[in-house]
Structure 1
Amino acid sequence: MIVITTPTGQIGRQVLDLVLDSAEAIRVIARDPSRLSPRVHERVEVVKGSHDDIDVVTKAFAGADSVFWLVPPYPQSKSIQGHILGFVRPVCEAINSQGVKRVIGVSSLGRGFAKNAGQISAIFAMDDLIESTGVFYRSLCMPGFMENMLWQVEPIKRQGMFFYPMSGDRKVPHCATHDIAALAANLLLNHSWSGQDCIPVRGPEDLSFNDMAQIMSEVLERPIRFQQVPGEVYKATLIQHGMTEAWAQGLINMAAAVDRGIYNVDPRTPESTTPTSFRQWCEEVLKPAVLA
């Protein structure tokens, strides 16, 4: 039995799509089952509720061999650590009580190096707690998602610009969520692995925001440029759009940690290099979004 959390989310939805045609029994935890497609309803067992609810998670994990685990973001949270650990404590209890064998979690690059890194630091606390159960665990360790650029479709479209509180010249890895989902799906369908390990997911190349602006210009056939903004200005904009002060400050701390090089500490390897390039992602995802 495979259990998938966040089956309507950006990554969880793609993981579910990739395992749907397998012979495995599949169960999902969904806060709003109406968002699942008729095909999914016909194929999977649905446990309604949130995976920060111990009763929901215990029910979903009964008889489970492998679990895909992701803590959804909640920009209205007053505590980053409180939000993430509020999801992790029930999962750890259910792992133990239900005898789950394997868990695949979504984490971040920089474990062991990131200090005061906002949401990233809280995610590493999640890894530590899950590993403390003794379950076989694979943490998929990501940099920023290419899909994060979709948050800036409007300024790209209207101003030919995108903004972030980070140097335009710092080259860092970026990955597409489809590649994350593909790795997670392969692990869910593979019942031979054991132990605990981190799997870096680095995309095919390191790019700066200035590099990305050049690629976007070529794909969109119009000039696009990157503008670094002060952290406090960016934070104020996030709060203006509904984020709590704590969540916005966490994102500022995370950007500062990335600018200090936490994504660049471990060397790139063939195993950590995933296939989807930023140019391909721009052609397939960003360009249709900008033209819409």
Structure 2
Amino acid sequence: MPKKIIVTTPTGHVGSRVVQLLVQAGVRPTLLLRAPEKLDAATRDRVDVVQCDQGDADAVLRATQGADSLFWVDPPTPDDDPAAGYARMGANAARAVRENGIPRTVFLSSIGAEKRHGAGEIDGLARTEELLDGTGASVLHLRCGYFFTNLLMELADLRRGVLRTPWPLDHPMAWVDPRDIGEVAAARLLSDGWSGASVQAVHGPEDLTFTRVAEVLSLAVGHEVRAERISDDEFRAALRSAGVSDGQVEGIVGMSTGLRDGFVPEDERSILTTTPTTLAAWAHAHLRPAL
């Protein structure tokens, strides 16, 4: 009998790559979507689609019956406290894993979840890790670096040649292409050769400072980009002006304040954590056309 692999957030930057690779591997995955109309027609013919809101525990339980493997992503939450919202989603995943007896789950987590507390909205991912570990099933937490695609939310500033950030400009951290995360996730979903609760970081090809990122982007997009550090309060003001609620603002700001001063990721860079796509290659292919 073919394996039943469930994929959540299948139209996202990571999930869409997971789906593509599973289909190319000959699997017909089951996709959980709140809005099935977002799925392109070519993919729809090669997958099974279940309309499901991951915030609805009973719906998640029904949608994951008979699953052999689950790719779980805590989706964006409308909660004013995003950490609590992510934890609520994680509780729904843990209940489904436990009650449906799902043997293996790959969870999209983040660098910083190892702190458990004090990393803004990442605290909700940390709680999801704990809830999934508590099921006793085999679970792999992918603790990922800073997504290249976060730059797509800064297009207006980048057009003006500025990369604004609350992080120290000389602070090195892991940057990663979400498509590469999808490749790691798909490989694990297709494999039966692992068990137990474990962590695997996904660090991208190298650690980058924002000063270095600006240099890379300057070459890739064809005009100078200058990194500029802003204060936490300036960051808060920018988020509020974009319509983000106060609680959500603190969840976002808390990620940078909690991970920048003396924080060292628990998982060291190694052959297991290093993925191939460089920021330069990604920016030339995806950011330059958007600008």
Question: Tell me, what secondary structure is at the counterpart of 1:43?
Answer: coil
Q: Does the 8 Å contact 1:114/1:262 carry over to 2?
A: no
Distance 2:19 2:34 in 1: 16
- Bigger drift between 255-264 and 270-279 goes to 255-264
The residue type paired with residue 149 of structure 1 is L
Distance 1:255 1:160 in 2: 22
Match of 2:199 in 1: 198
Q: Percent identity?
A: 28
The residue type paired with residue 194 of structure 2 is W
Matched, 1:7 2:34: no
Matched, 1:112 2:106: no
Shift of 1:73: 1.9
Match of 1:215 in 2: 216
Q: Does the 8 Å contact 1:173/1:263 carry over to 2?
A: no
Match of 1:231 in 2: 232
Shift of 1:247: 1.1
Shift of 1:265: 4.9
Match of 1:72 in 2: 75
Alignment of 1:133-282 (within 5 A): 133-157=135-159, 159-282=160-283
Q: What per-residue deviation string (whole Å, max 9, x for no partner) do you get for residues 143-196 of structure 1?
A: 211110111011111x21011111111111111101100001111111221111
Q: What per-residue deviation string (whole Å, max 9, x for no partner) do you get for residues 100-148 of structure 1?
A: 0000001112343364110112211110001100110011011211110
TM (norm. structure 2) is 0.94
Q: What per-residue deviation string (whole Å, max 9, x for no partner) do you get for residues 186-214 of structure 1?
A: 11111221111100111111110000101
Distance 1:21 1:90 in 2: 29
Q: Does the 8 Å contact 2:113/2:125 carry over to 1?
A: no
Alignment of 1:50-65 (within 5 A): 50-65=53-68
Q: Does the 8 Å contact 2:114/2:266 carry over to 1?
A: no
Q: Does the 8 Å contact 2:81/2:251 carry over to 1?
A: no
Match of 1:89 in 2: 91
The structure-2 alpha-carbon separation of the partners of 1:120 and 1:261, relative to structure 1 and needing over 3 Å to count, comes to farther
Distance 1:168 1:91 in 2: 37
Match of 1:100 in 2: 102
Distance 2:262 2:221 in 1: 29
The structure-2 alpha-carbon separation of the partners of 1:266 and 1:41, relative to structure 1 and needing over 3 Å to count, comes to closer
Q: Does the 8 Å contact 1:70/1:106 carry over to 2?
A: yes
Q: Does the 8 Å contact 1:143/1:263 carry over to 2?
A: no
Number of equivalences? 288
Q: Does the 8 Å contact 2:175/2:208 carry over to 1?
A: yes
Question: Tell me, what secondary structure is at the counterpart of 1:227?
Answer: strand
Q: Does the 8 Å contact 1:172/1:264 carry over to 2?
A: no
The structure-2 alpha-carbon separation of the partners of 1:285 and 1:119, relative to structure 1 and needing over 3 Å to count, comes to same
Shift of 1:22: 2.6
The residue type paired with residue 41 of structure 1 is R
- RMSD over aligned CA atoms reads 1.5
The structure-2 alpha-carbon separation of the partners of 1:123 and 1:44, relative to structure 1 and needing over 3 Å to count, comes to same
Q: Does the 8 Å contact 1:239/1:245 carry over to 2?
A: yes
Shift of 1:273: 0.9
Unaligned regions of 5+ residues in structure 2, if any? Answer: none
Shift of 1:264: 4.3
